[in-house]
């Protein structure tokens, strides 16, 4: 799936997200999370790691929408 943040286009798919987060320790969840494998990640952490983005460059809502379009289970604490 392609998406644009800050005028730059990125490409990401579910398998790539799973691969890049495989050995990453989830940070504490503040509010919104994405389930990758059996683990819950804050959506901003997951997108930053998966796409190589700086967290200040996108919102939690951007990340939430991207993971929803990729078919991941999402939730709220």
Residue 6, pLDDT > 90, answer no
Predicted TM-score (pTM) of the model is: 0.94
Residue 25, pLDDT > 90, answer yes
* Domain boundary assignment for the chain: 2-76
Spell out the long-range contacts of 2-9 with Cβ–Cβ below 8 A and sequence spacing 24 or more. 3/62, 3/66, 3/69, 5/53, 5/57, 5/58, 5/62, 6/57, 6/58
Average pLDDT over residues 15-25: 97
Tens digits of residue pLDDT in 32-54: 999 999 999 999 999 999 999 99
Give pLDDT, residue 14: 97
Residues facing 39 on adjacent strands: 36
């Amino acid at each position: 799936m392609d998406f644009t943040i800050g005028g730059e286009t990125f490409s990401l798919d579910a398998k790539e997200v799973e691969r890049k987060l495989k050995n990453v320790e989830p940070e504490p969840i503040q509010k919104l999370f994405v389930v990758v494998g059996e683990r819950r990640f804050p959506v901003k952490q997951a997108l930053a790691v998966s796409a190589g983005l700086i967290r200040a460059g996108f919102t939690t809502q951007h990340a939430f929408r991207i993971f929803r379009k990729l078919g991941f289970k999402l939730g709220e604490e």
